[in-house]
Homo-oligomer: A and B are copies of this chain.
Amino acid sequence: MRNSSFNNVPESIVGRLASYHRCLKNAASNGQTVIKSSDISKLCGIKATVVRKDLTHFGEFGIKGKGYNITTLSSNIEEIMGLNTEKRVILIGAGNLGTALLKYPGFSGANFKFLAAFDIREEIIGTSINSVPILHIDKLGAFLKSNEVQIAILTVPSQEAETIASQLHNCSIKGILNFTSAILKSDDGKFYIRNIDLSKELEVISFCMKKCLKNKEEK
């Protein structure tokens, strides 16, 4: 691999790498051993030149005239993306969305290990969801002191997001997956914050639909 730090990789490339990775896993489970950029292109809906250019960003993984060895490419992508190291995760806010995420099968593929979930509702404290214990939010600070946690997932009401996020400083947490519509800023650059705003997605589809309907009428 050309370079093991990859500090300036645009997020657009990272997102596509994840797509390639899934596509390779699928191809492998079908017994395929080699794949061409044009195949990846069809399966992922991304142009073959983009696929090749993205990959060369990290090294030369292909065999000219043949394509890519699926096992090799797959494990390279896993190393690039850090999918082969376990990440210890807590979830804050075990409501509907939080529960759905605790039960979400996709987390295992990213090597996420849930240590605990936090909530305020007394009736669920002490229970567990998908083997993840639910603790009272009051225990958060102490928990973070005695456990090395890398990622926090925020599924609390939006108006609580800021307060909760402020409690995540000065501990081992390096990434926040923010599902609230509050825009959290990592003022000091200590965190990587990824905002996933479902309401925004809804508004975007609302606009794009409008456009589609209009195009239709014009025809």
Q: Which residues of A are at the interface with B, using a C-beta cutoff of 8 A?
A: 5-7, 9, 11, 14-15, 17-19, 21-22, 43-45, 80-83, 85, 87, 95-97, 99-101, 103-104, 106-107, 109-112, 150-151, 174-175, 177, 181, 183, 185, 191-192, 194, 196-216
Contacts and interface: CB of A to CB of B under 8 A. Distances in A.
Given A15-B200, A177-B201, A201-B177, A82 B207 contact: yes
A134 to B, nearest CB: 15
A208 B183 contact: no
B104 A96 contact: yes
Task: Please tell me how many copies of the chain the complex holds.
Answer: 2
A14 to B, nearest CB: 5
A6 B211 contact: yes
B175 A110 contact: no
Given A82-B210, A208-B192, A45 B201 contact: no
Contacts of A209: 82, 87, 150-151, 174-175, 192
Given A96-B104, A107-B199, A194-B208, 5 more contacts: A87-B209, A109-B202, A110-B199, A177-B202, A191-B212
Contacts of A192: 205, 208-209, 211-212
Contacts of A203: 14, 17-18, 21, 81, 83, 109-110
Contacts of A80: 207
B183 A44 contact: yes
Contact of A96 (B103, B151, B197): B103
B204 A15 contact: yes
30 contacts: A7-B215, A11-B204, A14-B203, A14-B208, A15-B200, A15-B204, A18-B197, A18-B199, A22-B200, A45-B185, A80-B207, A81-B206, A82-B209, A87-B209, A95-B100, A96-B100, A96-B104, A97-B104, A106-B181, A106-B202, A109-B199, A110-B206, A174-B212, A174-B213, A175-B208, A175-B209, A177-B201, A192-B211, A194-B201, A196-B201
